[in-house]
Every structure is written in C-alpha cells, then in structure tokens.
Structure 1
C-alpha cells in the first residue's frame, strides 16, 4: 500500500493531518447545524413571537378605540358640550384606530417575511391564510366602523339617545367580532409558534445527535487509522527485535521480511545485510577454525593488539606424539595414512578442546597445544593440561582397536601409543612469521622443555611426563610420580620430572606400591647407594612388572657398575638428543 511506503515522519504527520481533518469536519458539521438552529431561533424570536404580540396588541387597541369612542359620545351628550374634551377624545379615538392599523400591518409584514424566507421550514400555506384573515378582519372592521362612526356622530349631534345606544351596541358587536377573529387568528398563530418551537427543538436535538455521531465516527476512524499506521510501524520493529534476539543467541539464519519502504524498512534491509555479513563471517570463522583454534580466532578478533605487540605470559605447553608412526606410515597408502592421521587427530584433539586448551599446530603426527591467559586462568592451566593428557591416554585402547578397521586390515603393522610432554613457564605469545605469512603461536624455554619431555618418554618408557613447575601447579589434583632429575638438550640446570599416573584417588594398590618403592629407590639412587636402589626398584618391579622407569633405572645402575659416575655427581641425567 502507498500508505506504508512513506517515511515514519510522513506517517505521523499523516495521522495528525487525518485527525485534524476529522476534527474540522466535525466542527463544520456542528457549526452548520448550529447555524441552522440559530436561524430558526432568530425567526422564532424576531418574527413569530413579535407577530403574535402585534396581534395581541391589536386586540388591546380595539378596546382602547371603543373606550375613546364612548368618551366622545359622553362629551357630546352632556348639557354643556365640552368641545375641547371632545376633541381630545376624538384624537385618542383616531390614535387607537391608527395603532390597530399599525399592529395588524406589522403582524402581516412579519408573517410575509417568514413566508419569503427560504432558509427555514414553515407552513407557508397556513401563514398565508392567517395573513388573509388579518387583512379581511381589518378591512371589515374598517368598513363597519366607518359607517357606524358617521352614523353615530349624526345621532349624537341630533341628540337621538335611543338611536345612539343602538349604534353603540352595534359598534360593540362589530368590535367583539373583530376581537374574536383576532383571537382565532392569534390561536392559529400560536400554533405556528409552537410548530416553529418544536422545529427548533427538533433541529437542536438533531444537531446534538448528528454531532455526537460524527464525533464518535471521527474517533473510530481516527483510532482505526492510527492503529493501522502504528501497526505498520510497530510490526517491523517487533520483527527487528525478534531478529536481534536471534543474533544475540548466535543464530544467523533468520532474515526479516521488508514490508515497508520507510526508515524501518531501510533498517530491516540493513539488518538483513548485517545478518548476511555475520553469516559470511561465521562461515569464515568456522573455516579458519579448522586451521586455527577458534579461541585464538576469537581472541585475535576481540584483541588484535595482542597479535601485533606480543606478550609474555606464564603458560603450560603440551606436546603429544604418536609412537611408531614412522614404521606404520611406511606400509600404508597415502589415502590410508591420511585417513588414519585425521582420525587420530580428531580423537586426540577432543580432550584438549574439552579441557579448554588451544591447539597451536599439527606437526607431522605431533600435536602442540597450550593453556594460559586469556583463555584460562593461570592457576587452572596446569591441572587442565594434566587432565587433558589423562583423557588422551584413556583414548589409546579404543584407538588401537579402531585403526585396523579404518584401514581394513586385521592388525596394525606396528603398535601405536602416545608420548606426552608438559611444561609450565614464561613464554612469548604473538604473531610470529614473515610479512607474507604469520602464525599466532608461543615461543620460549617452556616450549622447548615440553618438546624434550615428550621425547624423554622414549627413554623412560612412559606416556606422560611433566616438568617440576607443572607438577607444583597440579599439586594433589592428579596422581604424580617423580621419575628423575633431568637436564634436557639446550638447558644446563637439572630439574625434577614427573609421570602423571592418573586422576586423583584413582590409583590401584599395585600402583601405590609401585610409586612407594620407586620413591625409595630414587632416593637411594641419588645418594649413590646403588645396591639399596636396586633392591627398591626390584620391589617396585614386583608391584608392576614391565614398568618403564624402573627398567630404565635398573639399566643405569647396571651401567654404573661398570662405569661409576664421576665424583660430585648430582644424581641428574643428561639427555643430549633432541
């Protein structure tokens, strides 16, 4: 509709103008009806009632004329005629006679004015009859009175008393007839006054009713018009609100139908464009989330200065590698190898993500990940990394069963397992690379240490090794076993390394016995009491046959029998391989 294609300003102005027009129509109708009532009231006040008054006064004038006539006769009938008094009474008689003419003539003029006025409804035929009757009554009165007056004057002058009384009686009868006619005319005139009054009252009631009806209709039309226009404004606003809530909830699949061409319509169109852009950005984010951890993507979006400037933070780094990958890959087709590696990375990445870790990169068959601000709190990072490592280790049995099925073979050519190294320390975070390509990553000694600890699992036959700082941060949240004091390649200071044996409180009696005897053997080993150390390690081996660290330590003690350590030996082992 063209109405809804206007701007909001025009709609509001249109509503106001529409209401003003309705008010004007109501006012004009009220004024017209009131003016009609005013015309009727004017006619009633200035014509009907004055005409009726003129007729009433004509009656009075006829009585005054009769009295003046009798006084004239009395003056003439006296023994000594008083001509002066007679002349005065004659003058009164003539004045009364003239006033009868004036009153009846005035009534006729008013009646004719009513008849001639086309603005008001009136019974013109009845009024015309009244006018004719007045004219007839006055004419007959004039004729009879003139004859009787002339006769009376002659009889008075001749002193004919009997004849004079007869003439006076005839004059009274003529006067009474005139008065009766005038009374009848006044009665009919009064009926016309009543009719006119009823007409005025009827028009007044009609004006009130019409004004009320028009006012109600104007209010209804105005309200309907305002409701229609306001609905056209508020409906798109509600749709925008619903769409905004969908966006707030992270759902970008809902667009808004643009039903108007006003500012709200333009806003809805802009909202749809924004939704499309957000949907496009979300697709980009999802796509890049497969190559860069989504938390890194979001962090770079929220705080791009971190990528540019770089920061030093204490973080926990994890390296995870698949043992036996090289031998396994030699016997596989490229398609089979990709299939196995994708499944392996999917299975092992889930625990990292579930424990709020950030996957930095995949390096061959290795996974590098880290925990730390701003993604997790500093006191949470080491426990989360340790839990992630435990979860990954728990996936190994299922993974070992799934890989042959993926390749369509009965058994893997070589067994697969995990090696995980975790270290905590200060690192540099930021975008590292060239002007052509950048990578948001972490660098520092903790990174190198975690990588070396992952390799150290080969030496000790373990799955999960962590550094001293990581173990301190984990505390009693996981079950740990101190393995050795180690100097990795690239470092000169030895530090204790620990094995993550499992979740807190999850160790069996055999594992607890293993950890106890191993701690005793390690203390004797560092003190140079190799016989006591051997006995303790053998006791530990009885608790857990095939334990890698125990076998490693027994092999070292055997080697020290042939080539004892140098004087001042600190009990640390130096690993030169990278």
Structure 2
C-alpha cells in the first residue's frame, strides 16, 4: 500500500494529524452541547428561580403591608392621636405597597424574558397564563385596597369604630385573596422550575451520552487507524528484534525480510549486511579459536591496544606436565601419539576453561595457562588456578584407564601422572614475537617460577605445588600444606612452597594427621633436630603411606646426618638444576 511506503516521519505525522482531527471534532461537539446545557442552566438560575423568588417576596410584602396598615389604625385609635407615629406607619404601608408592585413586576419581566428567548425550550403558554394571573391579582388588589384604605381612614377619623372594623376585615379578605392567588401562581411557577430543571438534567445526560459515544467512536476510529499504520512500522521492527536476539544468542545464519521502503527497511538491509559480516568474523574467530584461546581472541578484538602496548599486571601462572611421557611415547606410532596427546590436552584443558583460565600454549606434553586481568578479577585468580589444578588431578584416574584403549593395548608399559606448578606475581602481558609472527603471552619471574615448581614435583613426589604468593592469595579457601623453603634455579632468596591437598573441608582424618605430623617434622628439620624430625615424618607416613614429601625429607635427613649443614643454615633447600 502507498501508505506503508512512506517514511516513518510521515506515518507518525499522519497518525498524529488523524488523532488531532478526531479530537477536535469531539471537542467541538462537546463544547456545543455544553454551551446548550449552559444556556439552560443560565435560564434556570437567572430567570426561573429568581422569578419564583420575586413571587415569594410579593407574598411577604403583602403581609408587611397588612401589618403596617394595622399599626396605622392603632395610631389613630389612641385617645391622643400620635400623628408622628401615624406618618411613620403610613410610610411603611406605602413602601410595602410599592415593593409588592416591584416584586410582581420583576417576576413578570423574567417570565416574559423566558417566553421571548428562542434558544431554550419552555411552556410559553403556561408562562403567559402565569403572567396574566399575576397582573390580574395585582390590579384587583390595588383597586380594592385603595378604595378600602380611603374608607378606613375616614371611618377612623369619624370615630366610627364598628364600620372601621368591618372595613379592615374586608381589607384582610382582599389580602388573603391576593396571597392565595400568588401562592397558586408560585405553585405553577414551581412546576415550571421543575420542568426546566428536568430539561436541563435531560440535556446534560444527553450531552454526556452523546459525548461518550462520539469519544468512543473517535477512539475506535483513531485506534483502528493507528493500528493500521503502526502495524506497518512495528512488524518490521519485530523482525529486527527477532534478528537481534538471534545475533545476541550467537546465531548468524538467519537474515530478515525487507518488507518496507522506509527507514526501517533501510535498517533491515543494513542489519542483513551486518549479519553477513558477523558471520564472516565468526568463521575467522572459530578458526583462530582453535589456535589461540577464545578469551585472548575476544580481548584482542575488544581492546587491540593491549596487544600493541603491553602491560604489567599481577597474574597467576600454571604449568602442567605429564610425567612418564618420554618413556611412553618411545613405543608409539606418530598417529597414536597424536591421538593420545589430543585426548590428553582436551581432558586437561577443560578444567582450565571451566575455571575461566587462559591457555597460553602447548609445549610438547606441557600446558601453560594463566589467570588475571583483564579476563578475571585479581582477587580470585589464585583460587581459580588452584581449583583448576584440583580438577585436572581428578581427571588422572580416568586418563589412566582410557590410555590403553586409545593405544589399542591391554596395559600401559609405564604409568602416567600430572605435575602442576603455580606461581603468582607481576608479569608483562602483550604481543611478543617478530614482524612476521606474534604471540599474545606473559613473561616474567612468575612464569619461570611456575615452570620450576612444576619440575620440583619430581623431587617431592607431589602433583600440585604453588608459590608463597599464590598460597597467601588463596588463604583458607583451599587445603594447603607447606612442603619446604626453596630457592629454585634463578632465585637467590628462598621462599616457602605449598602443596594443594584439596578443596576446603575435603580432607580425610588421615590427611589431616599427615599435615599435622609433617608440619611438626618440618619445624624440627629447620631447627636441625633431625631425630625429632625423623619421628614426625615417619608418623606422617603412617597416616598416609607413600607420602612423597615425607619420604623426600627423610632421605634428606640421612644426607644431613652424614654431612651436617653449615652452622648458619637457614633451613632452606637450594636447587642447582632445573
């Protein structure tokens, strides 16, 4: 439809104009009907009710007139006539008479104004009869009262009291007749007030109903129009949203249909081009992800300046090696060796990835990996490295069972195991290499120390050794055992090294006893109390037979008994080979 091929701006403006037109129509109709109701209300409050009030006050003035007349008679009937009092009462009488004329005249004017106003519906015939009845009642009252008033004054002056009393009674009868007529007129006028009120209420209800119907009709028409036009906008937007969710989920295989020629259509076309580019980039990322850790690939894409500039950071480095690999590989075919190594690397790489580590490289049968910013927070890197090492050690029994099947033999000629070294310290991170080939890696003393600790496992018969800085960062979150104070090749200052025994709270009673006895033996060993140290290490072996560190320390005690250490010995062991 041509409507949907317009720009979004024109569509929105069209919807707004349509709604504004409907709103104006509804508002104008409401104002017209409200003005009619307003006219009726003005007539009710400005004419009907005031006219009724004027008639009511005419009744009151009639009573005031009668009271004033009696006071006049009383002033004349006194033995010594009070002319001053009589004159005051006469003035009140005339004032009341004048007010009767004014009230009735005002009521007639209002009634005639209602009859003459063509804007409002009214019972003009009934109102005209009311006007005539008011005029007749006032005329007859005026004629009768004027005659009787003059007669009454003469009779009072002549002291004809019986005749004056009779005349006064006739005046009261005229007054009562006038009041009755005015009461009847007021009753009819009240009916007209009620009729006008009903008309106002009816018109008001009609205005409310019509306004509601028109407003509802305008809302329905406006909603239908807006739904029709906005559907042409939201439909492609929903397609874009669905496509964006697919991209967010990492699926780049679906393009969206371009259904409009407006800005959203252009956006959809650009979105399709973006998906194609993302699909291409994902293929590149998947390809390089097999050779470089995906975290590094993503990091280099997000922050390429890190690779160019390089940074110094505190990181935790891990080296993992397979013991017995050299002897095991001598009898393998190249294909079998590749099969075994791929399975070994797959099995051991999973714990590193699962614990958010970065695999730097595979060196023969060794794996180098690291933890630290910007990939994880600095305060959790040592713990994650330790957990990875525990998980890797837990894979050894399964690996030992799977290797014969992989090689197609009944049993392995030599047993295999893991050696893991972990160190924490400041390293240089960045792209290292030549102009022809670069590698994003880490370099520094912590890297060398981790490599040395991996090899030190052969001396102590352990699987996982960590540096003092790593142990301090882990704290009590893993079960650790201090093994010795070492100065590896390349270090002049010795430092404590620790074995990772397991997760926190996971040690058995035998392992707890091993750690306690070993700590006692280590303290005695460093104090050159070798007899006491031998007893403690033997106790440790009784808790866990075959414990490598205890056996290594017992062998060292034998050496010291033959060739005691120097007097200034600090209890550290210095290695002279890798």
Partner residue, 1:502:
502
Partner residue, 1:254:
254
Partner residue, 2:159:
none
Q: Distance in 1 between matches of 2:307 and 2:409?
A: 46
Q: Structure 1 236/541 Cα, relative in aligned 2: closer, same or farther at 3 Å?
A: same
1:546, distance to aligned residue in structure 2 (A): 1.2
Partner residue, 1:413:
413
Partner residue, 2:430:
430
1:496, distance to aligned residue in structure 2 (A): 0.5
Q: Distance in 2 between matches of 1:265 and 1:544?
A: 73
Query: Does the residue aligned with 1:369 lie in a helix, a strand or coil?
Result: strand
1:309, distance to aligned residue in structure 2 (A): 1.2
Partner residue, 2:566:
566
- Taking the TM superposition and a 5 Å limit, the aligned residue runs for 1:74-85 are none
For each residue in 1:255-285, what CA deviation from the matched residue of structure 2 results, as whole angstroms up to 9, or x when unmatched? 2112234432222111011112112222222
Query: Does the residue aligned with 1:379 lie in a helix, a strand or coil?
Result: helix
Partner residue, 2:575:
575
For each residue in 1:156-184, what CA deviation from the matched residue of structure 2 results, as whole angstroms up to 9, or x when unmatched? xxxxxxxxxxxxxxxxxxxxxxxxxxxxx
Q: Distance in 2 between matches of 1:238 and 1:476?
A: 52
For each residue in 1:231-262, what CA deviation from the matched residue of structure 2 results, as whole angstroms up to 9, or x when unmatched? 33432122112222333344333321122344
Q: Structure 1 10/386 Cα, relative in aligned 2: closer, same or farther at 3 Å?
A: closer
Q: Distance in 2 between matches of 1:331 and 1:223?
A: 82
Q: Distance in 2 between matches of 1:390 and 1:235?
A: 53
1:10, distance to aligned residue in structure 2 (A): 7.6
Partner residue, 1:483:
483
Q: Structure 1 231/555 Cα, relative in aligned 2: closer, same or farther at 3 Å?
A: same
1:16, distance to aligned residue in structure 2 (A): 11
For each residue in 1:371-429, what CA deviation from the matched residue of structure 2 results, as whole angstroms up to 9, or x when unmatched? 11122221111111111111111111111111111222111221110000011111111
Which TM-score applies when normalising by structure 2?
Answer: 0.62
Q: Distance in 2 between matches of 1:507 and 1:226?
A: 70
For each residue in 1:72-106, what CA deviation from the matched residue of structure 2 results, as whole angstroms up to 9, or x when unmatched? xxxxxxxxxxxxxxxxxxxxxxxxxxxxxxxxxxx
Partner residue, 2:492:
492
Greater shift in the superposed pair: 308-317 or 230-239: 230-239
Partner residue, 2:316:
316
Q: Distance in 1 between matches of 2:529 and 2:13?
A: 100
Q: Distance in 2 between matches of 1:347 and 1:15?
A: 62
Partner residue, 2:403:
403
- Taking the TM superposition and a 5 Å limit, the aligned residue runs for 1:32-181 are none
Q: Distance in 2 between matches of 1:570 and 1:314?
A: 29
TM-align CA RMSD = 3.0
- Taking the TM superposition and a 5 Å limit, the aligned residue runs for 1:117-516 are 230-516=230-516
Partner residue, 1:547:
547
Q: Distance in 1 between matches of 2:510 and 2:230?
A: 79
Q: Structure 1 8/411 Cα, relative in aligned 2: closer, same or farther at 3 Å?
A: same
Query: Does the residue aligned with 2:561 lie in a helix, a strand or coil?
Result: helix
Q: Structure 1 488/238 Cα, relative in aligned 2: closer, same or farther at 3 Å?
A: same
Which TM-score applies when normalising by structure 1?
Answer: 0.62
Greater shift in the superposed pair: 357-366 or 282-291: 282-291
Q: Structure 1 231/526 Cα, relative in aligned 2: closer, same or farther at 3 Å?
A: same
1:566, distance to aligned residue in structure 2 (A): 2.4
Q: 5+ residue gaps in structure 2?
A: 20-218
Q: Distance in 1 between matches of 2:13 and 2:509?
A: 86
Q: Distance in 1 between matches of 2:305 and 2:240?
A: 34
Q: Structure 1 269/408 Cα, relative in aligned 2: closer, same or farther at 3 Å?
A: same
Partner residue, 1:191:
none
Q: Structure 1 225/523 Cα, relative in aligned 2: closer, same or farther at 3 Å?
A: closer
Q: Distance in 1 between matches of 2:18 and 2:413?
A: 88
Query: Does the residue aligned with 1:319 lie in a helix, a strand or coil?
Result: strand
1:358, distance to aligned residue in structure 2 (A): 1.1
1:291, distance to aligned residue in structure 2 (A): 1.6
1:221, distance to aligned residue in structure 2 (A): 11
How many residues of Structure 1 are paired with residues of Structure 2 in the alignment? 385
Q: Distance in 2 between matches of 1:539 and 1:264?
A: 79
Q: Distance in 1 between matches of 2:397 and 2:337?
A: 19
Q: Structure 1 228/473 Cα, relative in aligned 2: closer, same or farther at 3 Å?
A: closer
Partner residue, 1:517:
517
Q: Distance in 2 between matches of 1:420 and 1:554?
A: 23
Q: Structure 1 260/462 Cα, relative in aligned 2: closer, same or farther at 3 Å?
A: same
1:484, distance to aligned residue in structure 2 (A): 0.7
1:552, distance to aligned residue in structure 2 (A): 0.9
1:9, distance to aligned residue in structure 2 (A): 6.6
For each residue in 1:288-344, what CA deviation from the matched residue of structure 2 results, as whole angstroms up to 9, or x when unmatched? 222222222222222222111111111111100001111111111111111111111
Q: Distance in 2 between matches of 1:485 and 1:306?
A: 36
Partner residue, 1:76:
none
Partner residue, 1:27:
none
Q: Distance in 2 between matches of 1:521 and 1:16?
A: 88
Partner residue, 1:132:
none
Query: Does the residue aligned with 1:412 lie in a helix, a strand or coil?
Result: coil
Query: Does the residue aligned with 1:252 lie in a helix, a strand or coil?
Result: coil
Q: Distance in 1 between matches of 2:258 and 2:572?
A: 75
Q: Distance in 2 between matches of 1:385 and 1:312?
A: 19
Partner residue, 1:202:
none
Q: Distance in 1 between matches of 2:534 and 2:221?
A: 104
Q: Distance in 1 between matches of 2:231 and 2:510?
A: 76
